[in-house]
């Protein structure tokens, strides 16, 4: 074996300045970090270092109440699951296959109708009993003095008032009309009554219709200025026309 001598020391000192790997002091970045090692102080700590911020969550003090709540939730979930399975079950039609006579088919249809009617009546009775048990009553309306108001009677009275108001408005409207308008209305009513006995077809040779059209006077008739003969007589109301 060869013992290290001055030659090794010389080789170490012959390194160029700045290229030497030897360092007098180690940097913190060069020191390896050991992450799987725990200090004795951390192992000795038994109390949690976390701090509660805000209002702490209330923990249930009674275990029986929590168990009861869990039981109710489980029962509700079981009922919902059972109802879902019932809805998904196929509908069973109680009908007999094969050849059937008319009497058998009629009896089967009648029996099915009776069963459905009985089921509907049973459900209606259950619903009415539930409403009675819950105290469901008819709504009662009262006036300012506390007397009970009959809705049906009030509706009939309101309808009568509306009819009377419409009748008064019609009478006022008729009263505002002049004598000529009233005569024209009566004439139209007579024409409608006579129209029941007239034929459907009326042509250009209808004397009565042509006479009526010629007697009609229009204020914007452009041919009025060419008339050389003025009509004299009485108006529709009986007054003399000069």
Q: What does the domain layout of the chain look like in residue ranges?
A: 105-133, 148-188
Question: Could you give the maximum distance between any two Cα atoms of the chain, in Å?
Answer: 167
Q: What one-character-per-residue DSSP string does 82-93 give?
A: HHHHHHHSPP--
Tokens, residue 28: 């913190």
Query: What is the pLDDT tens value at each position of the chain, 242 positions in all?
Result: 455 554 444 455 555 555 655 555 556 566 666 655 555 555 555 566 677 675 555 554 556 777 888 888 888 888 887 777 665 555 555 666 677 788 888 888 898 999 899 888 888 777 666 555 555 566 778 888 888 888 888 889 999 999 999 999 988 888 888 888 888 888 888 888 888 887 777 788 888 888 888 888 888 888 877 876 665 566 666 666 65
Handedness of CA 149, 155, 157, 161 (dihedral sign): positive
Measure the CA–CA gap between 109 and 113, rounded to whole angstroms.
6
Measure the CA–CA gap between 71 and 63, rounded to whole angstroms.
12
Contact yes or no for 149/143 (Cβ under 8 A):
yes
Measure the CA–CA gap between 214 and 234, rounded to whole angstroms.
17
Measure the CA–CA gap between 167 and 180, rounded to whole angstroms.
22
Measure the CA–CA gap between 221 and 215, rounded to whole angstroms.
13
């Amino acid at each position: 074996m060869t013992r290290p001598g001055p030659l090794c020391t010389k080789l170490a000192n012959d390194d160029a300045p700045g290229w030497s790997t030897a360092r007098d002091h180690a940097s913190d970045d060069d020191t390896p970090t050991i992450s799987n090692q725990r200090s004795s102080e951390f192992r000795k700590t038994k109390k949690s270092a976390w701090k509660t911020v805000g209002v702490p969550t209330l923990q249930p003090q009674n275990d029986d109440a929590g168990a009861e709540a869990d039981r109710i939730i489980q029962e509700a979930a079981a009922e919902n699951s059972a109802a879902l399975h019932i809805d998904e079950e196929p509908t069973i039609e109680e009908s007999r296959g094969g050849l059937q006579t008319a009497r058998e088919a009629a009896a089967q249809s009648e029996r099915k109708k009776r069963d459905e009617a009985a089921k509907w009546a049973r459900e209606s009775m259950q619903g009415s009993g539930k409403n009675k048990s819950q105290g469901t009553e008819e709504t009662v309306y009262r006036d300012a003095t506390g007397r009970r108001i009959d809705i049906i009677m009030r509706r009939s009275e309101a309808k009568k008032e509306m009819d009377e108001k419409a009748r008064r408005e019609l009478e006022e409207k008729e009263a505002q009309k002049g004598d000529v308008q009233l005569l024209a209305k009566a004439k139209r009513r007579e024409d409608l009554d006579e129209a029941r006995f007239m034929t459907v077809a009326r042509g250009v040779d209808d004397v009565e219709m042509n006479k009526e059209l010629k007697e009609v006077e229009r204020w914007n008739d452009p041919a009025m200025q060419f008339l050389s003969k003025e009509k004299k007589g009485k108006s529709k109301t009986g007054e003399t026309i000069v």
